[in-house]
Amino acid sequence: MVAFILSNLTGLLRQILVANAFGTQADMEAFNAANRVAETLFALVAGGALASAFIPTFTSLLTKKDNQEAWKLASSIFNLILVVISIASLLAAIFAPQVVRYILAPGFVDQPAKEALTINLTRLMLPSAAIFALSGLVMGILNSYQKFFIPALAPAMYQIGMIIGVLVLSPSLGIYGLAWGVLIGALLHLLLQVPSLVRLGGGYTPTLGIKTPSVHEVARLMGPRLLGVAVVQLNFWINTRLASGHPEGSVTGIVVAFTLMLMPQAAIAQSIAIAAMPTFSAQYALGKLAEMRHSLASSLRGVLLLSLPASLGLILLRKPLIVLLYQRGEFDTRSTELVAWALLWYAIGLVGHSVVEIVSRAFYALHNTKTPVFVGIAAMSLNIVFSYAFSAIFFRVGWLPHGGLALANSLATALEMLVLLYLMRRRLKGIEGRSLLQGGLQALGGTVVMFIGLWAWLHQTTNLPDWQVAVGGIIIGASLYALVMFTLRVKEAHSVVKAIQERIKP
């Protein structure tokens, strides 16, 4: 979690610098649309789909002390990824004009310069997909060996690459400098993890492993998950497509707002999920379902206790936070309005996103990728319907329509969360519901007290600068919530204090 927070802080610095340099203007719109292509290729070939299939299989082989077969599997997947994503990137580069004009951003067709820039940036950033794919596999290997800190720091290296692009390259290359920063960051993301990989002492085998049973197992597990990832990416493409026809800045507005929502989600849920998944996988491989049930319940309690107050904080403090972080240079008051509006509706879904992250990993550890994938497909299909419906409704009532895209995402994710929890409860014959209910009620109680305190603070500070409102609100909200947690004797709060005390003992 510490590493994720450091990576998020680095990412925040990158966002501030990018916003200052480009705001929500045409160049930034083109960059955000173009980057969607490389991100989609990475996600389809080697993103969450591969991790959810590779880690359980690789961990199972390590648990059974079959290290040679485990590293043969890793080599085969490495080679397959390189071949597949290289071919896919080449095709995407060839057909970039058609992809941009007819699929990704048809709203740019009336702005030829913007459309041409999107095509050029798409081609420039495509190699990052292959680099990230290989780096993602290395991350999965390290996580399987219970090594989390360096892989969790890798995203910070990507952000540093983009910072180099903004500060060093963009003054002379403009938005192309930021695109080169993407490539530099992807390479740093991989290189940071290579020394840790080498120290594991595993061997490389130049084979595709087409006939290897473990490769077949990864393919079997990856198939359904790949379909789920494709549906999620389809949602992102549809959002970009719809936002490209909204007022200028809408594409960047939903991208920046979604990224802001994902920062606490990454620190809270992704850090817990990544650390827990190898444990879930090992417990399942050893047949210890009772222990897995307890591990899952503990993870979910932690997520609820952290995501509820984070969601409220983003909702109430969204505007002063955005002004504090971004409003300078090319990022003006209009940009703030666009991002704050989208963040309001995205922040509602923070709890859902966080819980889905944990429960999905638990299903993957059970070698069951079908259930979360099919539920995710249903949820994301609803998301598509909601996106068209809510953006149209928002437009008709005079609201900025890109807010409807954010609301659609939050509502669909909440429904996905509820269904996954129900199915996991049936699969494990319980998930310690009483403990979860207690944790949820404790979190809700603290959040209510926090809401009252922040509401009073916001109404008493209307004349203060936004940065003072934001900083003061964070301190007040966090202090009130922590006070309630200790008053209610929440065990996780006391565990954190105890762990800190043990760390600082002389």
CA-to-CA distance for 241 and 387, rounded, in angstroms?
A: 11
On whether the CB atoms of residues 308 and 351 are closer than 8 A, the answer is: yes
Residue 392 lies in a domain: no
- Number of compact structural domains in the chain: 1
Query: What's the pLDDT score for residue 503?
Result: 67
Nearest C-alpha neighbor of 240 from the set 48, 22, 409? 409
Domain-located, residue 448: no
Q: 94 in a domain, yes or no?
A: yes
- Is 404 a member of any domain? no
Amino acid 208 reads L
- Give the C-alpha separation, 248 to 434, whole Å: 49
Domain limits at 122? 26-219
Rounded to two decimals, what is the model's pTM?
Answer: 0.73
What gap in Å lies between CA 493 and CA 483, rounded to an integer?
Answer: 10
**Residue 239 maps to a domain:** no
Query: What separation in angstroms does the CA of 65 have from each of 61, 68, 69, 204, 211?
Result: 6, 9, 9, 18, 21
Q: 267 lies in a domain?
A: no
Per-position pLDDT tens, the chain of length 506? 677 778 778 888 988 898 888 887 888 888 988 888 777 776 665 555 566 677 778 888 888 878 888 888 888 888 888 888 888 889 989 999 998 888 888 878 778 888 899 999 999 998 988 888 888 888 888 888 888 888 888 888 988 999 999 999 999 999 999 999 999 999 999 999 999 998 988 787 888 878 888 888 877 777 776 777 777 777 778 888 888 878 788 888 888 899 889 888 887 887 788 778 778 888 888 888 888 888 888 889 888 999 999 999 999 999 999 998 888 888 888 889 999 999 999 999 999 999 998 998 888 888 787 888 889 889 988 999 999 999 999 999 999 999 999 999 999 999 999 999 999 998 888 888 888 888 889 999 999 999 999 999 999 998 888 889 999 999 999 999 999 988 888 877 777 777 667 767 66
Question: Does residue 72 form part of some domain?
Answer: yes
The CA distance from 386 to 353, in Å, is 17
In a domain, 304, yes or no: no
- Between 67-94 and 112-125, two packed helices, what is the crossing angle to 10 degrees? 150
